[in-house]
Structure 1
Amino acid sequence: MSRELAAAVRNYRRRAGLTQEGLAAASGLSPSVVCKVEQGGEVRVDTLHALARGLGVPTSALFTTEALEPVVGDEANQRYLVELRGALMPPVGLSGPVPGTADPPDLSAVLKEIGAGYSLYQADRYDSVAKKLPGMLRATAAAAALLTDEDPQRVAEARSRCLLLTGSYLTQVRQYDLAYYALAEGIRVAGEVGDTFVAATGVGAMCWLLLRQERFDESEQLAAATALTIEPRFSGATPAELALWGDLSLRMAAAAVRNNRPDVAREARRMASTAAGALGTEYTDNEYRRSTFGPVTAEMKAVEDLSVLGDARGVLRRSDDGLLSPGAVGHYGRPSPNNWNRHRLDVAKAHAALGSHQEAMDELTALRRTSPEWLKHQTMARHVMSDILRRRKRTLTRDMREMAAHLAVVG
């Protein structure tokens, strides 16, 4: 952590009239953690959330702009992304993008391929998605450039959906600058032909990207403005419209709770619950987003708030109860794999925080069994495993050693 960020925490503490011990008590942290932060030591973002709550300021107030540290170990990803990067961002000359040699594509076949790509993405088959994306990007770019006899609206739909899938994939694998470019282009293409629904799905993905970049203010404001624009008339809204509005409400709440804005988060959660109640069951948009929203998803995200707030007992109390009980999930429908996996990762984090290492390992092992590729890309999973390794007094079990290797965590 930088000296400037350390100074910001120290100055806010003094302004609040708190000692290090007082800030530790208000934040639910140990005094040694506060001391480490103010000395410029490395610290996790969830610790900064806790400090912001203790100081009564938005989390974003503690972030500062600094010179970047050298990036180490990303050479392989750069090589793996060469083809995708070229398809997404072709060379630009004096006359604009250098034209490719692609023939006019069969747009129906391309749209079918994009749909298959979304299904692969939801199934966490990221290698397969990555291999498909360059061809789909080139095909939709050729269709947009040539247009021939195709309907411009249909061409724009194919191009925007392909770009939004690309942006979502790149966000998942933490290639954020590339992801931003893909999402911004997808939103622009859909907006230019007046396809507000597809553009708004892209905004939802953009909010997720901003959240991962810790741009909480912007994520919350973008989600709120877009939700206001597309707010449906509940009496005549389609399930897809309700799900999209509810999803944007979840994005707003996620950003607000991380930014220490509990009142905004509560209102956004209320909006999401209203949409979920109107749907009645989990709804999956199989045409555009391949994502799921409903009562179970809304409840999982409310439990996620407790995880962000460090309420491990609250997470465990609600994790398998009410709408998240097996019977309720069977009745209302199962949420998307990514959302369900995130929920179980919150459960693992809660067990680890309370010292229940075997229970945390059980959750991680189950996630590795069902979603090994997804798990590899989760920073929280590495943090949970690191905590287990650090606190474990006895010899590590075989499962612990194998999980540490899977997540590339060194004790």
Structure 2
Amino acid sequence: MSPEISSNLRKHRRRLGWSQERLAEAAGVSPGTVRKLEQGGVARVETLAQLAEALNVDTAALFAPPASPEPIRDDGPSRQQLLDLRRHLMPPVGLFDATGPPEEGVARGVLLQDIDEAHALYQADRYDSVARRLPGILSVAGGSVRAADGDDQRRQALVTRARALFLTGKYLTQVRQYDLAYQALVAGIRDAREIGATPTAAVGVIGMCWLLLRQDRFAECADLASDTADAVEPRISKATPEELAVWGELLLRVAAAAVRNNRKAEAKDARRMAATAAQAIGREHIDFRTHWGPFGPATAEIKVIEDLSLKGDARGVLRRADTGPLHPDSLKAHGTPTSNVWGRYRLDVAQAHSRSGAHHDATEILMGIYRSHPEWMRHQPMARRVVEKVLRTRMRTLTADMRTLASHLGVNG
């Protein structure tokens, strides 16, 4: 945790004339937590948000600069895979442009199919396979742009390369290679902007906002998502599902950033408008060729539950879990989100059970995620936190499932 958080926390507490005990009571945390933080200790974003709310400041006021991202685990990309991607995203630049033999374009349908297959691997949590395929896809996409003959062909090539770059940015953000992810997303957004493909560029902005959230840059995320949502807001009665999905996803990014930054009114408005877009679509809409991820009634409700989880409202999470749009009957009728979104929702429910002391229920949910998406689970700090708490608070011998989870996530206990 940066030393600035310690000094900022102390400064805002003293500004109110509060003792550490008074702040702890107002924030609903232990005095020891406040004391530890002011001495340079570490805390989760949820705890910092509670403290910022009690102090009546934005969470971002406690950050300067943002905390460093969590290091990549052993299951992250290899050095060679990162080097291959870096060559495409950050080529050397000198006094003269590199020249080479003329390139032949590749059939756009073939390239799109390659991108779709790589995205399917991403959704299946096969990140190593994605990393191996992306350099070739980027190479072909770049060659197609350079070989394009005429405005229409160049436009199609740039839109396709933007899609390849967005997938690259999505993968790199997932595995916490944030600087490379930024390069990929910026390049894709610029490709789309060059040809006036605003809907495509907005998809990249959704990815950029996810990256900003991962870096605790809440205010920047909210502003960027809000401005973009205003620019692409459709007329509900005539909007296509694709237009509604992009607009709705941007609103979800606004809400996610605002709730983390204790801007409750802004978060509430964004969630309300996102729910309107979800109701207008009527079911989960998943099409990576036209938007970033899934969007629909279930996804919008899952994000509401994520807000409750961030606030530490375990009862609220459990009260809404598996009801309404998330009831099994509703899911059958209106569709289920992608595995990543669903997995995050189940992690929120598992954490709520853990906070309520129901460690067996938490473990059962985590085991379900482990059986279906073990690779994705490795990249989720929340999964490790829940297991760490189970191990720390359980007085009896660990069950076989608890030991399995601890071993899989590298948790000692």
Structure 2 length-normalised TM: 0.94
Asked if the contact 2:165–2:188 (Cα under 8 Å) also holds between the matched residues in 1, the reply is yes
Deviates more, 1:226-235 or 1:401-410: 401-410
Distance 1:291 1:2, change over 3 A: closer
* Structure 2 Cα separation of the partners of residues 184 and 99 of structure 1: 25
Deviates more, 1:325-334 or 1:94-103: 94-103
Distance 1:279 1:35, change over 3 A: same
Q: Return the offset for 1:336.
A: 1.6
Aligned to 1:285, which of 279, 287, 292?
Answer: 287
Q: Return the offset for 1:239.
A: 0.6
* Structure 1 Cα separation of the partners of residues 193 and 218 of structure 2: 24
Equivalent position SS for 1:86: helix
Q: Return the offset for 1:277.
A: 1.2
* Structure 1 Cα separation of the partners of residues 80 and 32 of structure 2: 42
Aligned residue in 2 for 1:61: 61
- Matched to 1:145, the amino acid is R
* Structure 2 Cα separation of the partners of residues 85 and 100 of structure 1: 22
Aligned residue in 1 for 2:146: 145
Equivalent position SS for 2:237: coil
Distance 1:93 1:101, change over 3 A: farther
Equivalent position SS for 1:191: helix
Distance 1:215 1:243, change over 3 A: same
Aligned pairs for 1:260-279 within 5 A = 260-279=262-281
Aligned to 2:352, which of 327, 336, 350?
Answer: 350
Aligned residue in 2 for 1:306: 308
Asked if the contact 1:216–1:259 (Cα under 8 Å) also holds between the matched residues in 2, the reply is yes
* Structure 1 Cα separation of the partners of residues 50 and 382 of structure 2: 16
Structure 1 length-normalised TM: 0.94
Asked if the contact 2:204–2:292 (Cα under 8 Å) also holds between the matched residues in 1, the reply is no
Asked if the contact 1:122–1:291 (Cα under 8 Å) also holds between the matched residues in 2, the reply is no
Q: Return the offset for 1:67.
A: 10
| Seq. identity, % | 51
- Matched to 1:86, the amino acid is R
Aligned pairs for 1:8-23 within 5 A = 8-23=8-23
Asked if the contact 1:119–1:290 (Cα under 8 Å) also holds between the matched residues in 2, the reply is no
Distance 1:391 1:218, change over 3 A: same
Q: Does 1:361 align with 2:367?
A: no
Distance 1:206 1:73, change over 3 A: closer
- The gaps in structure 1 that reach 5 residues or longer are none
CA offsets 1:105-127 (integer angstroms, 9 cap, x no match): 33321121112222222222212
Equivalent position SS for 2:238: coil
Aligned residue in 1 for 2:201: 199
Q: Which runs of 4+ in 1 moved over 6 A?
A: 66-76
Q: Does 1:42 align with 2:42?
A: yes
- Matched to 2:7, the amino acid is A
Q: Return the offset for 1:146.
A: 2.5
- The gaps in structure 2 that reach 5 residues or longer are none
Aligned pairs for 1:182-197 within 5 A = 182-197=184-199
Q: Return the offset for 1:100.
A: 8.6
CA offsets 1:220-276 (integer angstroms, 9 cap, x no match): 000000000000011211010011101100000000000010000000001101101
Distance 1:380 1:102, change over 3 A: farther
**What number of residue pairs does the alignment pair up?**
411
CA offsets 1:322-377 (integer angstroms, 9 cap, x no match): 22111121122111211111100001111111121111111111111111111111
Aligned pairs for 1:9-408 within 5 A = 9-65=9-65, 77-96=78-97, 103-148=104-149, 151-289=153-291, 291-408=293-410
Equivalent position SS for 2:258: helix
Deviates more, 1:280-289 or 1:388-397: 280-289
Asked if the contact 2:285–2:296 (Cα under 8 Å) also holds between the matched residues in 1, the reply is yes
* Structure 1 Cα separation of the partners of residues 69 and 201 of structure 2: 35
- Matched to 1:211, the amino acid is L
- Matched to 1:138, the amino acid is S
- Matched to 1:49, the amino acid is A
Deviates more, 1:212-221 or 1:96-105: 96-105
Distance 1:68 1:270, change over 3 A: closer
Q: Return the offset for 1:70.
A: 12
Asked if the contact 1:90–1:98 (Cα under 8 Å) also holds between the matched residues in 2, the reply is no
Asked if the contact 2:246–2:291 (Cα under 8 Å) also holds between the matched residues in 1, the reply is no
Asked if the contact 2:4–2:62 (Cα under 8 Å) also holds between the matched residues in 1, the reply is no
* Structure 2 Cα separation of the partners of residues 357 and 100 of structure 1: 63
